[in-house]
Amino acid sequence: MSRRQELIAKANLEFLPLVHEDNILRVRDSTYAKLGVIGKGGSCKVYRALSKKCSVVAIKKVKLAGMDAKAIEGYANEISLLKRLRGNPAIIQMYDSEVDLHRKSIFVVMELGEVDLNHVLQQRALNDTSRSLNMNFIRLTWQQMLSAVHCIHEERIIHSDLKPANFLFVRGALKLIDFGIAKAIANDDTTNIYRENHIGTLNYMSPESILDTGSGEDGARMRIGRPSDVWSLGCILYEMVYGKTPFAKLHFIQKLQAIVNTSHAIHFPEDEEAEAAIDAMKQCLCRNPEERPPIIGKHGLLNEHWFLHSKRRASL
């Protein structure tokens, strides 16, 4: 055996663990080799994996054992919505999925991203600067976030859990992920849906997603709609500009009370460079959902607001 053949044989041996049966994931009729874990929590793990076509994907594996019906419903809901949103460039793409009762697992194969916005914010927060992010980056990211959320609103879907961790950079473009608690509007009422419980991430939750409407027979019932997502977007913009969310310094109960309390003023420190961004977040963080601007339309955040259209400032 020549030296070259020896090196090839050695290299092949080094790759054997990659194709070992314990390292293989099967989803429907496709086989993937696990390259590593990129995220985990509770009964869920997300793997970086290699397909037979040598493309690298993300595979979410959810163990069903011990999971309650509501949690299973959430994952089934996510698969359903991702199927509905296939082909939308602003939404993470799902390539395949399987509910395997024999293995007691759910598998979702998706496109792989590089890093989420939350990671970017955390890294920038380590810098001792007055602002955690460059304003041009904030402006571009804000534009992409608005576009992504507008896309799902056009499909009559309320996300309900918008936060930096649910915006993923994929080949430089920002995409929306995690539709586990998103809700599709089933009837002609395109403004409001009802939730039977408080779901979301508190730092980004709107007042109406916390307040009980009093219309539930067996418990709390919250009325939310597109403006609830707009509030969450405002909280993310606030964090991008100031390096923290509007109610970050408060403890849990204080935070709950402050979010819904119209007498609790949200502090917006002056920043001349961020003046337009601050104006946008002020509009998003109106406690009355009817006073919040739409993403697209008259006074729309995406199509008219002067943070993205500075030439229009003089006409306001």
Task: Tell me the three state secondary structure of residue 97.
Answer: strand
Report how far residue 181's alpha carbon sits from residue 179's, in angstroms, rounded to the nearest whole number: 6
29 counts as catalytic: no
Residue 152 tokens read as 């799902």
DSSP 280-293: HHHHHT-SSGGGSP
Bridge partners for 223 per DSSP: 194
- Region label for 186, one of left (φ > 0), alpha (ψ between -120 and 50) or beta (otherwise): alpha
Report how far residue 181's alpha carbon sits from residue 98's, in angstroms, rounded to the nearest whole number: 19
Catalytic residue among 100, 116, 128, 161: 161
Residue 246 and residue 204 in contact, taking contact as beta carbons nearer than 8 Å: no
Q: What is the CA radius of gyration of the chain?
A: 22
Task: Tell me the three state secondary structure of residue 138.
Answer: helix
Which residue type sits at 2? S
Nearest CA to 234 among 278, 276, 274? 278
Bridge partners for 60 per DSSP: 46, 108
Please tell me what DSSP assigns to residue 72: H
Report how far residue 291's alpha carbon sits from residue 174's, in angstroms, rounded to the nearest whole number: 27
Bridge partners for 33 per DSSP: 24, 50
Residues tagged active-site: 161
